[in-house]
Amino acid sequence: MGTLRKQNLKLPILMTPFVALTIAGSDSGGGAGIQADLRTFAFHKVHGTSALTCVTAQNTLGVARVDALPPESVAAQMEAVVSDIGVQAAKTGMLLNQEIIATVAKQIQTLRISNLVVDPVMVSRTGAQLIDDDAIATLRTALIPLAIVLTPNRYEAEMLANMEIQTLEEMQIAAQKIHQLGAKAVLVKGGGMTGNLCGVDVWWDGQTLQILEMETINTKNTHGTGCTLSAAIAANLALGKDAFTATCLAKEYVTTALKYSLAIGKGQGPVGHFFPLLEPQG
């Protein structure tokens, strides 16, 4: 009969990572929304927490259904995370309606959440309006003034600046006009621009006007780039980077993730958030 031998138990290695919060919708296809945000946080070795605003039924071909959560539920999720765990940075994505936007803005102030990145998610990269005019008005007046970095795409910038954007000069003018809404810094994204301006972004923080340009990656699988960029900025802010450095590092991350984009589904696949773990096929 065998005898039991006492095992030497090793104590666990206790880690205390920086923490970021995403306040956004769920993408059942896993390419955007909180799924993209949490993967991005993990890549940056930041613990990801979440407050879900809506649930979507979607895949690489499009969105079939959207169900909003009650604003009280969104507020409770934010309270639960911040009161116990605490966060060093946060980002907002799809907030869907006026009530949720107002609730999120109030909670950010009540819970004293700093280092906020606002991805306005008002208009798609193809120009389709995603939220109604009342929600946009509340976003402008209640949420945008709380942002450390605001990341509108071309069409969102046109709406916020109340102007048409077709040239680099117009992107720069728009960034300066949008800055007057109260965000500490504005990054007008050029993903929706054409020709040589595609992918060229403009940064304005009230003092420095910068043109940010990275390598262009020719891929159709770009789903979730906006979510990923804003999440990467938030992750770098949580790590203690200044806003401009955080934004530059985030752009580098998204560019590499595009280089390793995922050819999944029958439509537009997502970027490769976890590219160091991927092995090229074929």
Q: What is the mean pLDDT of the chain?
A: 93
* 168 occurs within a structural domain: yes
Rounded-to-integer distance, Cα 193 and Cα 165, Å: 9
* 13 occurs within a structural domain: no
Residue 161's domain spans which residues?
19-274
Q: Which amino acid is at 137?
A: A
Residue 75 belongs to a domain with what CATH number?
3.40.1190.20
* 6 occurs within a structural domain: no
The answer to whether residues 153 and 123 touch, using CB atoms and an 8 Å cutoff, is yes
Reported as a single tens digit per residue, the pLDDT across 138-148 is 999 999 999 99
* 64 occurs within a structural domain: yes
Looking at the 3D structure of the chain, how many domains does it have?
1
* 3 occurs within a structural domain: no
Residue in the block written with tokens 């537009």: 268
Reported as a single tens digit per residue, the pLDDT across 107-120 is 999 999 999 999 99
Rounded-to-integer distance, Cα 212 and Cα 187, Å: 9
Residue from 165, 93, 98, 178 nearest 131 by CA: 98
* 205 occurs within a structural domain: yes
Give catalytic residue positions. Answer: 189, 222, 224-227
What pLDDT does 68 receive?
Answer: 96
Reported as a single tens digit per residue, the pLDDT across 167-220 is 999 999 999 999 999 999 999 999 888 888 888 999 999 999 999 998 888 899
DSSP state of 129: B
Q: Which residues of 201-224 are buried (b: 16+ CB within 10 A; e: fewer)?
A: bbbbbeeeebebeeeebebebbbb
* 137 occurs within a structural domain: yes
Q: Is the alpha carbon torsion for 241, 116, 76, 121 positive or negative?
A: negative
Residue from 153, 149, 152, 178 nearest 238 by CA: 149
